[in-house]
Structure 1
Amino acid sequence: MQSFLNLLVFLLMMAFLSNDALAVYWIDEINQEPENYQLTKADKTSVPVTIYKTLEHGDCIEVIGVKAKLWIASDSSPKEMLSRDGVSNKCIKEEKPASIRSSSLTEWAGRWLTNRIHATTSRTVVSLITRGEEGKGITIPLATQGGLRMVSGRRSLYISWQGGKQPFSVRMASEGSLKTVFERRNITDRQLEVDSVFLNEGIYHVEISDAMGMTAQNLHVVSPGEMPFPRLESYGSASSRDQLAVVGAVRLASQGNGWAFEAYQTAADLAPRYQPAKILQKSLENGDIPLPMPE
């Protein structure tokens, strides 16, 4: 029965995505708060700028903040950057219909990300949080919504934590045999990337320690079929693939039961080159996990 439901959801999502191919342009990235941009509709009304907002025929978008930048993506042309230092505005002239998905899953995820831009890009806020962490014990905010859960296979593994005093040590061992999967010492950051580790299905113990103490958390590694819904796939541009990967990760993080950890893997993997993924990564690291999408 569960397999049938997963298949049904998958088919519905594919139908959903076929409609999305009609979208001409969308706002793919912004590096400042929404008030640094102005989006005017064909009827001269202004609407809020958000990540993943679909741009329709007659829409004109302008960068008005001095240090602000905005990237427009499309499935049919290279990504475009707007800024005050160069081209600062663009008006959409294509008359193709916009996607029906723009008002549901994609825009829901985009609004959630947009609302966290300040908290995840402010250097002052980040530095204050980092300095304050040293007086606290080690915690794993990613585990606050049902522990840690991810899909099995060979892949990079990303872990983050808060509190404690550097240097840190991280060890992961399988529950049954207590065999060490990996161990890292003298870590100076509160995050770790382990390249190309193979994880079978099962339970693993993750231990993070410093000179003062240690915290441990179980990691449940499950088959891909246990995910609440199939991954969103795109056969369009690289921008479309990145967008759908982050949208799917936001949605997955909202499911509870430890799935924020799997969503974090996607976000951390894309974060070095894709701003929305970095926003999601930093939010999850702080325990800011999305609630489920409203019905």
Structure 2
Amino acid sequence: MNKERVFCIHLHAILYGLLLCFVVSQPAWAVFWIEEFTGEQEEYRLIRQSKEWKVEAGMVLVTGDELSVLSDTGELQILQDDHEHENLFPLTRKDGSFKVPKPEAPSGEIRNMLALGKRLMTQTPEEKTPTRSMKARGDGPVLILGASDLKNYLIAGFDSLLIHWSGGEPPYRIRLLDDDDNTIVEKNNIQQNNITLTDMILPTGSYGLEVLGNSSSSYIALSVVDLDKAPPLYNKMVASQASVKVKQRYAAIILATRPQWLFQTLQLAECHGLPNLKQNILNGFVPDLDDEMQSTINK
């Protein structure tokens, strides 16, 4: 490696580090939910959009929700998750009411700066195990939908894999590769722009997924991890006392807010029968967590 290339690699790393330092100094948006409460539901009041709701353990709170404790002995634990830290704080009658604030997200300028930094870093090879990013070649290239351009996490235990793509020309070929680029699964002569790979359970590890068209192809990195590697808020929702349908939908939406978990969210949306969320992901649009929660609640 020549000196100029080494200098460029170090410069890219420094620039991206400075971008990260700038971003983490900005206000982060947070998610609030009810961790647990003592006594009976009647000892608490939740006002949402001018209507009164019953509190539930594991209930996700949305912007504008107002919580009050009605009894002297009641205590409600509220969890605040800003995706980096979790804070648990109690709410009692003497504390007065708590109103969920409006979340703050990075500005468009900051998002653009981060995207630029990511592009710089993907041009920097790692020493041994390079991160496989989305790559496309050919005219009118194939593009795998609902995937991050850096890394895509999957939770171990799934026995099927839904894949959608756009662009290119049939016939298509699908290849699932292991970390050494050996073919695990291959499907040929596919005429449509989607397929579900079935009857397979992938152990934890690194994989690659490639969709090849008649004159172009697309490739993304997959990383299969244990459940405890999923975001804490996702695991808390899965373990909550909410109904199965509520847990499935909310847990999927929580994952959808993290780009590296978007591909896993697509699998959950297909598995749990969430067509609207699935279509949003395929269209490249993932609603804000708060907006989607509001929509779910109002249905």
Provide TM-score, normalisation by structure 2: 0.50
SS in 1 for 2:238: coil
Structure 1 residues 252 and 139: alpha-carbon distance in aligned structure 2, compared to 1, 3 A threshold:
same
Q: Alignment partner of 2:170: what SS?
A: coil
- The superposition leaves residues 70-115 of structure 1 with CA deviations (integer Å, 9 ceiling, x where unpaired) of xxxxxxxxxxxxxxxxxxxxxxxxxx8355946429x99xxxxxxx
The C-alpha deviation readout for 1:250-277, integer Å capped at 9, x for no partner, is 1111022x10111111101123xxxxx1
- Superposed, 1:98-137 pairs within 5 Å as 101=59, 103-104=61-62, 136-137=140-141
Alignment root-mean-square deviation, CA:
3.8
Partner of 1:170: 174
Query: Structure 1 residues 141, 18: closer, same or farther in 2, change over 3 A?
Result: farther
Residue aligning to 2:205: 202
- What corresponds to 1:97 in structure 2? 54
Q: Secondary structure at the match of 1:198?
A: coil
Q: Which of the pair has more CA radius of gyration? A: 2
Q: What SS does the corresponding residue of 2:254 show, helix, strand or coil?
A: helix
2:219 aligned counterpart, secondary structure: strand
Q: Does 1:187 align with 2:207?
A: no
2:238 alignment partner, one of 211, 233, 236 = 233
Aligned length in residues = 179
- What secondary structure is seen at the aligned counterpart in 1 of 2:163? strand
Decide whether aligned partners of structure 1 residues 235 and 99 sit closer, same or farther in structure 2, where only a CA change above 3 A counts: closer
Percent of residue pairs identical: 20
Deviations 1:123-156 (A, max 9, x none): xxxxxxxxxxxx9321123224643211122422
Query: How far apart are 1:17 and its partner, in Å?
Result: 9.7
Paired residues for 1:29-68 under 5 Å: none
Deviations 1:9-68 (A, max 9, x none): xxx97835999x99xxxxxxxxxxxxxxxxxxxxxxxxxxxxxx99967xxxxxxxxxxx
Once the two structures are superposed, the pairs formed by residues 129-278 of structure 1 within 5 Å of their partners are 136-144=140-148, 146-176=150-180, 178-229=181-232, 230=235, 232-233=237-238, 240-256=243-259, 258-271=260-273, 277-278=274-275
Is contact 2:34-2:61 (8 Å) kept? no
- Equivalent-residue separation in structure 1 for 2:222 and 2:270 (angstroms): 17
Q: Residues 56 and 155 from structure 1, CA distance in 2 versus in 1: closer, same or farther, beyond 3 angstroms? A: farther
TM (norm. structure 1) is 0.51
Secondary structure of 1:169's partner? Answer: strand
- Return the alpha-carbon distance in structure 2 between the equivalents of residues 182 and 97 of structure 1: 49
- 8 Å CA contact 1:56, 1:98 repeated in 2: no
Q: 1:184 to 1:15 in 2, by over 3 A?
A: same
- Report the AA paired with residue 222 of structure 1: V
Offset at 1:174? 0.2
